[in-house]
Structure 1
Amino acid sequence: MLTAVALLFFFFLFVSVPVAFALALATIPIFMLGDYMPMTVALQRMYGATQSYPLLAVPFFILAGNLMNSTGITERLLHFARLLTGWMTGGLAQVSIALSAMMGGISGSAVADAAMESRLLGDAMAGRGYPKGFSASVIAFSSTIPPSIGLILFGFVAEVSIGRLLLGGVVPGLLMTLTMLATTAIIARRNGYAPELAERPRAGEVGRAFLSCFWALAFPVFLLVGFRYGFFTATEAGAIVVVYALIVGVFMHRELTFGRFLKAMEDSVCDIGMVMLIVAMGAVLGHALTIEQAPHAIAVFLTDFAGERYLTLFVVLIIVFLAGTIMEATVNVLLLTPLVLPSLVLAGFDPVHVGVLMIILVTMGGNTPPVGVIMYTVCGILKCSFTEFIRWSWPFLAAMLALVAIMALFPQVVLFLPDWVMGPAR
C-alpha cells in the first residue's frame, strides 16, 4: 500500500497537480482498498490539523512579514547592506547576501526573499557584468538562511518549543552568512568582479543607515528578549509582532498607507491559504502513513545503525536533503518529521538540533533539480537557464553542505543560544 501511495503522489507531482491536492489524492488507495480509514476520518484529520494553538504563529508571522515589507523596510535594509558589504570583492553579490541575512528574520519565507531580491538586484547585477547563473546562485542560496515559518511548522509537528527553535536558527544563520560571503568572495576574485563601492564607507554614513532601519533590525532582538524573559510564547509573539509592524509602519516610518495595508493583507491571505491547505492535506497523508506503519519501517531501517549515533544522523540528513530536491519544504517538514525524528531522539539527539538541520536542508533542496522551487523562481525572474544555474551553484552547495556537516557533528553550534537564553531543555 505504501508503494501505491508513493507512486501516486509522485505521479500527481509529475503531471503538475498542485502539491496540496497531490498529498490528498495520493491517499486514494487507502480509502478504496482499506476499511480502516473512512472518509470521515480524513475530514476530521484535515480539520484537526488546523486547530492548533502553536500553528497560529504561522499566519501571524506571515502577516507581520508582509506588513514590514510594506513600510519601506526593504529599501532601508538594502541601503544598509550596500554600505556594509558593497566595498568587498563582488560587491553587489555580497550586498544580496547581507540583505538575505537581515530579511531571513523578517519575512520568514525563503521563496519570498529570493523573489524579492531577484526583482530588486537582478538587473543591477547583470549591469555589473555578473553572469546570470552566478547572480541566480547567490540570491537562491543566500535565501536559505533559516526562515522562521519552517521552524514554526517543525515545532508544531514535533511538539518542540518554537522559541528554542527560532533561537537555535540564529547562530547557524550567521555562520551561513559568513560562508556565503567567503564563497562569493573567492568566486568573485577569480573572475575579477569589482566591488560595488570604491572605498569603505565612513562610520558616520554606516551609522545613519543603521538608524534608518533600526526598527527592522530590532525585530529579531525584540523576539529574543521576549523569549528570554518569558514575556510571550512563540504564538503570542506572532500577534505582538503584527502590532509592532503596524506601529513601525504608521508612526515610525509613516509609509504604511491604506493601499499598502490592503496589499499586505491580500498577499498574506494568499500565503496563509497556501500553507494551511498544505498543512490540512498533509495531515491526511501523514495519518495514512502512520496507519501503514511507515514510522515503524523507518525505525527498523535505522536500527541497522544502532550504536553509531552520528551515522544514523547523517543517513537521516541525506534522506532529508534528497527529499528536499523532489518536494517543497513545507511538505517535507510535515511528512518527514514524524517519520525520522523519534529515531533520532531515541539515539540521543536534541530535537531542536535536528529541527534546525532539517529546515536548512529541506530549504536548500529548493535550489536543486528536479523540483527546486527557489531555483525555478529565481531563474524565471532572471531569465537564467537551469543548466547555467547548476554550473554556477555547485560551489555554494558544497560550502553549505560542509557547514551543515560541521553543525551536525557539533550540536552546541545550534544549541548554545537556546540553552543560554532559555536554559537547557528538560
Structure 2
Amino acid sequence: SAVADTAALAALLIPMMRAAGYGINRSAGLIASGGIIAPVIPPSIGMIIFGVAGNVSITKLFLAGIVPGVLMGAAVGLTWWWLAKNEKVLPAPKLAMPQRLKITAEGSLALALPVVIIGGMKFGVFTPTEAAVVAAVYSFAVGMFVYRELKWSELYQLVLTAGKTTAVVMFLVAAAMVSAWLITVANIPTEVADMLEPFMGSKILLMLVMMVLIVVVGTALDFTPTVLILTPVLMPVVLKAGIDPVYFGVMFIMNNAIGLITPPVGTVLNVVCGVAKISMDDAFKGVLPFLMAQLAVMFLLVLFPQIVTVPLHWWMR
C-alpha cells in the first residue's frame, strides 16, 4: 500500500537525504509523491477492491495500471530534477558504473517479481488469485535462500501479519459488496446519473467532471472509503456514457492515490510528517510541486485516454 511503502522508504531515506544536505521539506515531498504510485502499479489492493465493487476485471486493471504508474514516476523524477536545478541542490556523489552494475545484479531477483506477476497473468499462466500465491512463494524463496535476510524464526510472525492483512482486505471487499447494494437500493446511482446528464455528450468532459469530484472527495476521505463509496455510485454513469470501465478504474485509483498527499486528511503526508518530524504545512509545501505534476499526468490521461487503453489492448492480445 502507499502508506506502508512511504513509511518504509521515509524511515530509510529521509535521514540519508538530511545527512546529504537536501531540504527536509522537499525530501519529504519527494518520498510522499513517490509512495502514492504504489496503488497504481500492480499488484494493488485498491484495484482489487475497485474490481470487486465495480465488477471489473482485476487482471485488466493490473495491466492497465503499468503505463500510468510509469508516467507518474517519470513526473516525480522530472519534477525533482527541475527543483534540484532551480534550487541549486548539490547532487550526491555518483557511484562508478561497475558498482551500479553490481548493485543492479544483486537486486535483479527482487526486481524480477513484478515481471513474473505481470508476465504470468498476461500469458495466462495464472489468475490474479494464483499470482498472489506465486508472489508469496517467490518472495519467500528469494528472501530465505538467496539473500538470506529471512530467518525461520521470523516466519511465524510474517504469516501472522499476512493473515491480518488478508483479513482486512476481505473485510473491505465484503464492505464493498454491502455498500454497493445499499447505494443501489437507495437509487443513488440514478440520481447521480441525472445530475451528470448534461455532460454525457462528451466522454472527456464527463471524465473531467468526475475527476474533479473525486479530487474534492479525496481531500476529506481516505483512499479505501472513497473507493467503497464512489465506485457503485459512478460505475453506472461510466457504463451509460460508454467509457471503458477498466480505463475509468485506473483513473479512479490514480485520483484516489493523489488524494493521499492532499490535506487535510492526506494519510501519506501524515506518515512523512511523523518520520521527518515536520508540520503538515511544511510537508505540503514540499510536496506541492510533485502534486501539481501528478495532477498534470492525471488530466493528460483524461484528455488522451489512448495512453491507457492502447497499451492495455496490446497487453491483452
Same fold (TM over 0.5): yes
Structure 2 counterpart of 1:194, from 82, 90, 95: 90
- Code of the residue aligned with 2:96 in structure 1: it is P
Q: Which residue of 1 aligns with 2:267?
A: 373
Q: Percent identity over the alignment? A: 35
Equivalents in 2 of 1:382, 1:259: separation in Å?
32
Structure 1 counterpart of 2:207, from 306, 313, 331: 313
Q: Which residue of 2 aligns with 1:81?
A: none
Instruction: After TM superposition, list the pairs within 5 Å mapping 1:8-19 onto structure 2.
Output: none
Taking structure 2 as the reference length, the TM-score comes to: 0.93
Q: Any idea what the Cα deviations from partners look like across 1:167-205, whole Å, max 9, x if unmatched?
A: 1111111111111111011111222211122x4631x33
Q: 1:352 to 1:400 in 2, by over 3 A?
A: same
Equivalents in 2 of 1:362, 1:144: separation in Å?
9
- Cα deviation, residue 415, structure 1: 2.1
Preserved contact between residue 332 and residue 362 of structure 1 (Cα < 8 Å): yes
- 1:293 paired with 2:176, answer no
Q: Name the larger-Rg structure.
A: 1
Unaligned 5+ segments in structure 1 are 1-108
- Cα deviation, residue 293, structure 1: 1.1
Q: 1:190 to 1:413 in 2, by over 3 A?
A: same
Preserved contact between residue 239 and residue 245 of structure 2 (Cα < 8 Å): yes
Structure 2 counterpart of 1:119, from 11, 26, 29: 11
Q: Which residue of 2 aligns with 1:129?
A: 21
- 1:355 paired with 2:271, answer no
> Secondary structure at the residue paired with 1:194?
coil
Unaligned 5+ segments in structure 2 are none
Preserved contact between residue 53 and residue 177 of structure 2 (Cα < 8 Å): no
Equivalents in 2 of 1:274, 1:321: separation in Å?
25
Q: Any idea what the Cα deviations from partners look like across 1:143-169, whole Å, max 9, x if unmatched?
A: 111141111221122222211111111
Equivalents in 1 of 2:51, 2:172: separation in Å?
16
- Cα deviation, residue 206, structure 1: 2.4
Equivalents in 1 of 2:176, 2:313: separation in Å?
32
Instruction: After TM superposition, list the pairs within 5 Å mapping 1:152-171 onto structure 2.
Output: 152-171=48-67
Equivalents in 1 of 2:308, 2:231: separation in Å?
18
- Code of the residue aligned with 1:141 in structure 2: it is S
Equivalents in 2 of 1:421, 1:306: separation in Å?
29
Q: 1:417 to 1:251 in 2, by over 3 A?
A: farther
The structure with higher relative contact order (CA 8 Å, sep 6+) is 2
Q: Which residue of 2 aligns with 1:382?
A: 276
Equivalents in 2 of 1:369, 1:230: separation in Å?
41
Which stretch shifts more, 246-255 or 111-120?
246-255
Taking structure 1 as the reference length, the TM-score comes to: 0.70
Q: 1:416 to 1:216 in 2, by over 3 A?
A: farther
Preserved contact between residue 6 and residue 35 of structure 2 (Cα < 8 Å): yes
Preserved contact between residue 151 and residue 359 of structure 1 (Cα < 8 Å): yes
Q: Any idea what the Cα deviations from partners look like across 1:11-43, whole Å, max 9, x if unmatched?
A: xxxxxxxxxxxxxxxxxxxxxxxxxxxxxxxxx
Preserved contact between residue 278 and residue 331 of structure 1 (Cα < 8 Å): no
Q: Any idea what the Cα deviations from partners look like across 1:71-126, whole Å, max 9, x if unmatched?
A: xxxxxxxxxxxxxxxxxxxxxxxxxxxxxxxxxxxxxx110000001110111112
Equivalents in 2 of 1:134, 1:366: separation in Å?
17
Q: 1:157 to 1:285 in 2, by over 3 A?
A: closer
Structure 2 counterpart of 1:236, from 100, 113, 130: 130
Q: Which residue of 2 aligns with 1:256?
A: 150
Q: Any idea what the Cα deviations from partners look like across 1:367-411, whole Å, max 9, x if unmatched?
A: 111211111111111111011112222211111111111111112
RMSD, aligned CA: 1.7
Which stretch shifts more, 284-293 or 307-316?
284-293
- Cα deviation, residue 352, structure 1: 1.3
Instruction: After TM superposition, list the pairs within 5 Å mapping 1:19-418 onto structure 2.
Output: 109-145=1-37, 146-147=40-41, 148-197=44-93, 199=94, 201-202=96-97, 204-418=98-312
Equivalents in 1 of 2:112, 2:287: separation in Å?
32
Q: 1:223 to 1:416 in 2, by over 3 A?
A: farther
Preserved contact between residue 111 and residue 373 of structure 1 (Cα < 8 Å): yes
Equivalents in 2 of 1:218, 1:417: separation in Å?
21
Preserved contact between residue 282 and residue 331 of structure 1 (Cα < 8 Å): no
Equivalents in 2 of 1:129, 1:287: separation in Å?
53
- Cα deviation, residue 282, structure 1: 4.6
Equivalents in 2 of 1:271, 1:265: separation in Å?
10
Q: 1:161 to 1:286 in 2, by over 3 A?
A: closer
Equivalents in 1 of 2:247, 2:175: separation in Å?
27
